[in-house]
A and B are shown apart, each in its own frame.
Chain A
Amino acid sequence: MILGLTAPGRDGGLALSEPSSGRALTYGALAAAVAERAAELAGDKQLAMVAASCGMDAVVCWLAAMQAGHAVMLLPPDLAAARLSTLIELYRPDLLLGWPEQSGYGPGPAGFARRFQPDGGLLHPDLCLLLSTSGSAGSPRMVRLSRRAVEANAGAIAVALALGGEDRVATTLPLSYSYGLSLLHSHLAAGAAVVLSDLSVLSRPFWDLAASCRLTSLAGVPFLWQSLRRLDLAALAPPSLRFGTQAGGRLDPRLTLHFHDIFARRGGGMITMYGQTEATARMTVLSPDQLPARAGSVGRAIPGGAIAIDGGAVVYQGANVMMGYACDRADLALADQMNGVLPTGDLGHVDEDGYLWLEGRAGRVVKVVGLRLDLDEVQARAAMLGPTAALVRGDDLIMLIAGAVPMAETRAAFAADLGVPAAAIRWRSVTAIPLGGNGKVDVAAAEALL
């Protein structure tokens, strides 16, 4: 069964708990629920578009859809209505979960809504999961992942993190985001427990839950760890919490060591990871026993994976590499275009012991509050507001604009369009945007204006 839910010795162990409702499922109960719904969903391969809420019913439903051999596209549950409509038009899903009352859909099996007039477009037999490369689904482009890639990455992460039946993690990242989903999948693959919660780590209810559920690790992107830096984590975290994991962008090594010290005193440590949605989730892991000596490295390739450097650029090879991208339904018929090799677009070097050190991006793709943005695309989207230059300072997206800064409503709409919190965008009025000879924004000159 998917993710080895029925593996020997797991039956009575806790798989999922949902503190908001008080419900919990053992591995035996989860496997039974998945099998039951998968039977209801049996039939020709279909595309299911799912609101990836941190709820037990939703998780069981999409695991069942995968188990039944369907392709599942996981999207943020709070996706803007206009964006959802665009995605439905482009991908014409046969099944919907979590978005009731969509026109053209009626009641279907296992809690899904069913399309009245099925598209019938071919879905490649290997296709299992579709994820957006921007954590917020700002772009309709999706990563196509096979069942083999999903299973391989879940298993490899479980091994690299030495996860076992005693481990408990909460869903502190959206499940539509590859890092968040990898928490769920890797813990299930290891027979560990996942606490389904959408509480903010920066709120007291989360820490009450961390204590009552005896969480053993905390997962976050750099923004979370930067925020926790100003809090007294040693006092906040219950004694059970011994590991921190970090991925989704570069964290200052000093912060890695700060948190490593706190966790090491409890017999654990800080785990740095590197990955991309194009590799399902993870590519490398830095074991805490390499700290402090290798602080700043993202570690070694996960089991079954390999890292190579080609002209300074990082190339990953492994079973977890995507089949390719998709921009619409027709692309879902495509076979594997990658052959297990992923040019990451990141620059870096590998030391004599195989540890990877990243040195930046080859293009203008950046991370803003954990979300991946292509600055050239941001500028293109802002074109209707006037001449702009998109830059990044720390964790902020800086928009230089020639003339007046747009009204608050316009700024909010632009942020929503990008899928970025409005507060993460800083607008600066300038007299003119510096352009290079090719008519494009002169980035160096624009940076000099800051």
Chain B
Amino acid sequence: MHWHDKLRQVFRDALDLGADAEVDGLAYRAVPAWDSVGHMRLVAALESEFDVMLDTDEVIDLSCFDKACEILSRHLDG
């Protein structure tokens, strides 16, 4: 499985969305589930599922799904 698919699943699990929920266009606070509580759960899930540590800038820049891809690609591909 490409890590983008795994990332989509991490988003669905952390934000308690449905199994088939569309997450690619998701943005922080654009849906009720991605509020500040969901945000910190998402950060924790990204860190544990991908075995990475997000720094302060990455946590506050994690504003949408695309940004999460960008941040993770730095850790995984870089």
Residues of A within 8 A of B (CB): 200-204, 206-207, 223-224, 227, 230-232, 235-236, 369, 395, 408-409, 411-412, 416, 421-424
Distance to closest chain B CB from A407 (angstroms): 8
Q: Is the beta-carbon distance between A227 and B40 smaller than 8 angstroms?
A: yes
Supplied contacts A203-B63, A421-B37, 12 more A-B pairs, CB within 8 Å? A203-B28, A204-B63, A223-B36, A227-B36, A230-B59, A236-B60, A395-B37, A408-B19, A411-B16, A423-B35, A423-B41, A424-B37
Give the 3 A-B residue pairs with the shortest CB-CB distance, closest first: A423-B38, A231-B56, A408-B18
Q: Which residues 1-43 of B sit at the A interface, judged by CB distance below 8 A?
A: 14-19, 28-29, 32-33, 35-41, 43
Known: A223-B37, A227-B36. A204 touches B60 (CB 8 A): yes
Chain A residue at smallest Cβ distance from B14: A423
Q: Is the beta-carbon distance between B56 and A202 smaller than 8 angstroms?
A: no
Which one, A206, A235, A369, A416, contacts B37 given CB within 8 A? A369
Distance to closest chain A CB from B5 (angstroms): 19
Chain B residue contacts of A412, Cβ below 8 A: 16, 33
Q: Is the beta-carbon distance between A200 and B28 smaller than 8 angstroms?
A: yes
Give the complex CA separation of A399 and B29 in angstroms: 25
Chain B residue contacts of A235, Cβ below 8 A: 56
Q: B61: CB under 8 A from chain A? A: yes
Give the complex CA separation of A203 and B64 in angstroms: 11
Q: Is the beta-carbon distance between A421 and B39 smaller than 8 angstroms?
A: no
Q: Is the beta-carbon distance between A421 and B33 smaller than 8 angstroms?
A: yes
Distance to closest chain B CB from A220 (angstroms): 10
Q: Is the beta-carbon distance between A202 and B38 smaller than 8 angstroms?
A: no
Distance to closest chain A CB from B53 (angstroms): 10
Chain A residue contacts of B60, Cβ below 8 A: 202-204, 206-207, 231, 236
Could you mark each residue 33-69 of chain B with 1 if its beta carbon is under 8 Å from any beta carbon of chain A, else 0? 1011111110100000000000111011101000000
Q: Is the beta-carbon distance between A202 and B59 smaller than 8 angstroms?
A: yes
Chain B residue at smallest Cβ distance from A408: B18
Give the complex CA separation of A201 and B59 in angstroms: 11
Can you list 7 pairs linking A and B with CB atoms under 8 Å apart? Answer: A200-B28, A200-B29, A204-B60, A231-B56, A236-B56, A411-B16, A421-B38
Chain B residue contacts of A236, Cβ below 8 A: 56, 60
Q: Is the beta-carbon distance between A416 and B32 smaller than 8 angstroms?
A: yes
Chain B residue contacts of A230, Cβ below 8 A: 43, 59
Distance to closest chain B CB from A51 (angstroms): 17
Distance to closest chain B CB from A371 (angstroms): 10
Q: Is the beta-carbon distance between B36 and A202 smaller than 8 angstroms?
A: yes
Chain B residue contacts of A232, Cβ below 8 A: 55-56
Known: A231-B56, A231-B60. A224 touches B36 (CB 8 A): yes
Chain A residue at smallest Cβ distance from B12: A408
Chain A residue contacts of B17, Cβ below 8 A: 408
Distance to closest chain B CB from A397 (angstroms): 11
Chain B residue contacts of A421, Cβ below 8 A: 32-33, 35, 37-38
Give the complex CA separation of A46 and B68 in angstroms: 49
Give the complex CA separation of A389 and B14 in angstroms: 23
Q: Is the beta-carbon distance between A423 and B29 smaller than 8 angstroms?
A: no
Give the complex CA separation of A369 and B40 in angstroms: 12
Q: Is the beta-carbon distance between A422 and B18 smaller than 8 angstroms?
A: no
Chain B residue contacts of A224, Cβ below 8 A: 36
Which one, B15, B39, B57, contacts A200 given CB within 8 A? B39
Chain A residue contacts of B16, Cβ below 8 A: 408, 411-412, 422-423
Most buried by B among A202, A235, A408, A422: A202
Give the complex CA separation of A231 and B56 in angstroms: 5
Known: A227-B40, A232-B56, A236-B56. A422 touches B32 (CB 8 A): yes
